[in-house]
Amino acid sequence: MLSSAVRSAKSLRLRPTGLSRTFTSTRYARTDALQPASFSVFTDEEQMLRDTVKRFATDVVAPKVREMDENEIMDPSIIKGLFEQGLMGIETNPDQGGAGSSFTSAIIAIEELAKVDPSVSVLCDVHNTLVNTVIRKYGSAEQQEKWLPQLSESKLGSFCLSETGSGSDAFALKTRATKQGDHWVINGSKMWITNSYEAEVFLIFANADPSKGYKGITCFIATKDMGVKIAKKEQKLGIRASSTCTLDFDDLKIPEENIIGGEGKGYKIAIEILNEGRIGIAAQMLGLAQGAFDKSVPYTYQRQQFGQPVGTFQGMAFQIAQAATEIETARLLTYNAARLKEEGLPFTKEAAMAKYWSSYVAQKVAGSAIEWAGGVGFTRETGIEKFWRDSKIGAIYEGTSNIQLQTIAKFVQKEYS
C-alpha cells in the first residue's frame, strides 16, 4: 500500500483513508555534489512511487487484464483503486486533493501501469496529463477549487478534441458553441474520445466564433449529467478495456463560468497540452515494450531445443540484446523530455522524438516477443500477443508518427537552414 511505502518520507501527508497522496515535489534528481544526475537516478519519493504503482499493477490490475480485454470493458474496481492510491491527481496541489508531485512522477506511474496493462495506463495518462493539467494551468482559482478535488478523488475526466474530419488537423473541428444569455449551447460530435464511457467530467473543444477560424476555438468543461451522449463505443484491435467513444452534443447547455482559459483560447490550450501529453504516450509505449520483453525473455531461457535454451543461440541472443538497447533509448528519450518539461526548458522536439521512437520500439519489441515465445506467444493465454495489439495505437493517437516526424523535421530545418 502507498501509505506504508511513504510513512517515513518527510513530506508525508495522510488522507482520512490512511492513504498518502504525496510522492515528490522535487523537480529533478541531483547528486550530493549538486551535479546533474543520470536519467536512471530518481528521488527517494519517485522510487517509492514506482514501487507502489508496480505492486498495485501486479496485485490488483494483472489478475483482471485478460478478462477486461476479452470483455472490452474497464473494471470499475480498477478505476476506484487508482483514485484510492492517489494516482489520479499526481501533480494536483494537496489542498485540492492531489499529491502535489512532479511531472516525472506522473510519467513513472504511466510507465509502470503499461508494463501490466496499457489500457489502464492510458486511462491514468489522459486523466492526469491532459484533463487535470488543463484545469491546473488554465483554469481560474474558482474552477480549480471546484473541479480538481473531484478529479483527484472520484470523477474520471475525458479530453474531447478529435472529430470525424479533424484528426491530425485538429483545428478543422466543426463542433459549434453559441452564446445564449448567461450560458453557451454546444452542438456537434466528437470521435475517438478516450475514457468517455466511464468519464463524468469532459473538456470539450468547440468553435465559439467560426469567423475567426481556429482562433475561435474555446475549451468548455461539462459533466455527463448536462446531457453528454455516448453515440457509439468502438470495438478496437488493442487497448480494448480503454473506452473509445463517439460523443454527441445536442443543444448541450453549459454555464458561461465553465469556459477554461477564456473565449478563443482553446487552440492554444490544445497545442500546449498535447505536447505534454505526448510524453505520457511515450511512457505508455515504453512500459508496454518493457512489459512484453519481461514476459517473453524468461521463457527463452527455459525453453530447451537442441540441448540448450533457445535464448542462448546467437541469433536469438542478438535480437534480445538489440531490443534491450532500443527500450533503453526509448526510456532515455522519454525521461529527458519529462525533465526538460519540469525544468521549464523547451521540450516540444524532444517530446515528439520520445513519442515517435517509443511507439516504434513498442511495436517492434512486442512483435518480436511473440516470436521469441513461439507458439506459446501466439496464444492469448500468455498475454504477450496483447502487448502487440496494444502497441499499434502508439503510432496513431495524440499525434501520428508522421506528425511527430514533421515536428522534428521543422526543428532540424530551423537549426540548420
Q: Where are the alpha helices (DSSP H) in 264-313?
A: 266-302
**Nine-digit cell at 308?**
540448450
Based on the residue annotation, tell me whether 398 is a catalytic residue of this protein: yes
- Per-residue H/E/C for 20-52: ECCCCCCCCCECCCCCECCCCCCCHHHHHHHHH
Contact 14, 20 (CB under 8 A): yes
Of 141, 7, 3, 121, nearest to 57 by C-alpha is 121
H or E element, residue 202: strand 201-207
Q: Which of 84, 111, 385, 398 is catalytic?
A: 398
Cα–chain-centroid distance for residue 240? 15
Contact 336, 346 (CB under 8 A): no
Q: 61-70 as b/e, with b when 16 or more CB fall inside 10 Å?
A: beebbeebbe
Q: How far is CA 18 from CA 3, 4, 245, in A?
A: 6, 9, 35
**Nine-digit cell at 76?**
470499475
Query: Angle, to 10 degrees, between the axis of helix 384-391 and the axis of helix 348-372?
Result: 150
Residues annotated catalytic, as ranges:
398
